[in-house]
Amino acid sequence: MANLGTTELDVFRLCLGGNVFGWTADETDSFAVLDAYAAAGGNFIDTADTYMRPNMGVSETIIGRWMAARGNRDDIVLATKVGSDGGLSAGNIREHAEASLRRLQTDRIDLYYAHKDDLDTPVAETLRAFDELVREGKVRHIAASNLSAERLRESLDVSWREGLAEYVALQPHYNLVEREGYEREYAPVVEEHNLACLPYYALAKGFLTGKYRPGGPDVESPRSKGALAYLDGRGERVLAALDQVAAERAAPVAAVALAWLSAQPGVVSPIASARSVEQLEALLPAVGLKLTDEELATLTEASA
């Protein structure tokens, strides 16, 4: 377990992404993945009110049904998001928060994200709306995803100045082949404000699982096109480095990629999804895998 930034929340070092629930995993498969994750000690689940378009809200609904069936809500640190549908106005936040609570069958959201920036709504309005939810006990902590570094800083400054709830975590696009944007723009803000970094696309749309190879078989996945975009000279170097470390440690390639990410400054719990128990089993070894300085350097240099 790891502490989530400045909060009292203790989370598993692998956050289970709920974007596949109701999309590439039906409810039965989703329940199986959630059960296996919890059985392994996992307690941190990430979803959003728009997962998965066009069936928005279905992921929250499945997770809510699972928690109700298992009676384990108090054991779960639950994260969801608002803003991708309708923006971050006070009215939209309130409406969507209440809808998420109903679908999730819970009275509180542990970590509530601004999913996507809304340049038409003043930062102060958004933060006051979040602050109201926190004061009412419907949200425990707030976080940000897909805000520019400039807007993130502005939000933190407004919260401090007005005594409002502050973002405690950042969910950025960050992984072994997507480093520059986060490390240049966001890492300084994360360090300065002691934010918890919870990267999404931690496996680069599946590329860092190792299943996409030059001349390899076609992979049936809605994300295949995005993953194949990484299959260039740099991507092949990264795969070779991952293969080397994975062989030496007798670990799945995906677990090694996640272990590298977990070792980066500020990263608390990378987010990865699995549409089957078998896929999840390739991710779970990352939690106990501590790479050596030499192994970390090998991977970092390959991805430079």
Residues 174-223: tens digit of each pLDDT: 999 999 999 999 999 999 999 999 999 999 999 999 999 987 767 777 77
pLDDT computed for residue 224 by the predictor:
80
Could you give the domains of the chain?
2-209+266-289 (3.20.20.100)
Q: How many Å apart are CA 209 and CA 227, to the nearest integer?
A: 10
What pLDDT, on a 0 to 100 scale, did the predictor assign at position 29? 98
Told to judge if 51 belongs to the known catalytic residues of this protein, a careful annotator would answer yes
Single out the catalytic residue among 51, 182, 186, 201.
51
* Distance between CA atoms of residues 208 and 176, nearest Å: 8
pLDDT digits (tens, 9 = 90+) for 100-145: 999 999 999 999 999 999 999 999 999 999 999 999 999 999 999 9
Q: Which two three-digit tokens encode residue 208? A: 């860092």
Distance, in Å, from the CA atom of 98 to the CA atom of 92, rounded to the nearest integer, reads 10
Q: How far apart are the first and last CA of the chain?
A: 30
Of 297, 210, 299, nearest to 252 (Cα)?
Answer: 210
Confidence bin at 35 (pLDDT 50/70/90): very high
Q: Does residue 52 surpass a pLDDT of 90?
A: no
pLDDT the model gives residue 121: 97
